[in-house]
Structure 1
C-alpha cells in the first residue's frame, strides 16, 4: 500500500477562512476567535455519538472478558492517549495495565519530538508485541490525520490477529476508519493556525477519549449514581474527596463518613455498602463481589 498522499486534501491541513488575518489580530481577538472555532468541536462529535457508543460497548465487553484497552498514536494524539490511560488509575482504581497508552517513539516522545517515528510502520507492530497484545484486548488508534503509518500498521496487525479495533481521527473518510471495526471520524474543520492539530483536533480527540474511558468504567461498576466510588485516596485532596463521596452516597455526616472510611480500610465503595446495607466490612466486600462491583446491585 502506498502511504504517500496529498495532505492538502485533509480537512486538518486546509486553511481556515475565518483566520486568514490571524497575525494582525490583537490578543483578545485571537482568543475570541479560538473560542468561537472551538464551538465546532462538540457539534462535530455529536454527529458520531452512535459509533462512540458502540465502541464503548465493545470496551466494556473487553474488560468483562479480562482484556485491556490499548490506545496507540503519534505526537499529540499519542500523548492524549497516554494522558487518558494514566488518569484511569487514580480515578477508577484500576491497574495501570488495564488501560495503556502507546506513542510512536516511546517514552522520550512524550516530551520531545522523535523524528520519523510516526512513519515507522514496523514499530507500531513491535510496540504491540512488546506489551503482549492479544485478541482479548481492544486497540484504539489515534491520529488527527487518520493516516499515520505507525497507527495504521498497528490497526492492521490487531485486526489480523482477531482483536476488536477502533479509531479516532479528525478527517472524514479516514484510512484508519476504513480498517477499524469502530471508526470515529470527527470533522471540526480547519485549524485557525493551519495544520496545528493540537488545537481543535486535539480537543476533539481528548473529548472522545473522556467519553470512551469514563463510559466504559461506568459500564463495569466504577460509579454509583454519578459518584466516582473507586477513587484511590492517594493524597490529602483525594482523601477528603473520598469522605465527601461517602457522605453524598449515604446521606451521612462527615464524622460518620470518616468513621466508615477508616473501618473499610479507606475503600470508598466498601464504606458505602457498609452504611447502606448495615453490613460489616467482610459482608460488604462479599456483596460487592456477588454484584460484580456494582454498588447499586448490592442494595
Structure 2
C-alpha cells in the first residue's frame, strides 16, 4: 500500500515549505493539497491557490508525488487547467497527479455566479470536462464545442508522449463517475459516503467502501479494462475518522483497507484545531515504522 498526506494550503510559504519537505523526508509516497477558491470551514481564513502551491512544492522536493485534490468544473476550464498541469508537471519532472471531481455545490460555484446544477447536470458537465481535458493533453489539436465547453483551434504543446499523459485520480461515488474513472483514471478516489462529514469509525463505513470497490471493479469490466490496472485511494478523516488517533489505529486501518482492496491511503496532516485536529507525532511514528526504509528501496 502507498501512503499520502493532505496539506491544507493555509500557511505562508516559509511554513508550508517545511511541511512539504517533511512529508517527503518521512517517506510518504504522495502529498496533496485542495483545489478551492474558498473552503467551507476556512471562509474567514487565508487560503492559497493549489497550482502555485504545487509548483512551489515541486521546487523544494525531489521524489514525492504531488497531487491536486480535486480540480472541478466549478471554476476550471479544461484548456486552461491543462496548461497549468503540464507547467507544474514539468517543474516536478513528472511527479504530478491530477485529482478530478464533479464539483459539489458551494463557494467555488456560487461566488463566480455559476448556475445551481442538479446531480445529473453535474455528471454531464464532469464527463465533458474530463473528456476535453484528456483530449487536450493527449491529442493536442482540439476543435470542439459542447453544451458545456468550447475549445476552438487549440494546438497544445507539449502533448503526452506516446499518449501517456500525467495520471488522473478521478473522484467518484456513483455509476456514471465510476464509468468515467474506468475510461480515464489511473486512480479512483473516494472519501466514503459522498459529501458526508459525519466522522465515523472505519468499521462503520467499511461496508459502503466495499460496495464502492465492487462498483469500480464492475465499471472496469464493462469498459473492458482489467480492474487491477486501477489504483484505489481513500482520503480519510472526513467520513472515515480516527485513523490517525494513534499509531495502532493507523496501522490497523491500513491493514483493513489493504485487505479490502485499497492501494493508497491518504490522511490529513494533523492540525492544532478542527478540522483534522490531531498529533503530528502519529504521522512521524507511522513513517518510522512503515515508510522510511521502503521509500529508500
State TM-score, norm by structure 1.
0.28
Higher relative contact order (CA 8 A, sep 6+): 1
Greater percentage in helix: 1
State TM-score, norm by structure 2.
0.28
Greater percentage in strand: 2
Mark the structure with the bigger radius of gyration.
Answer: 1
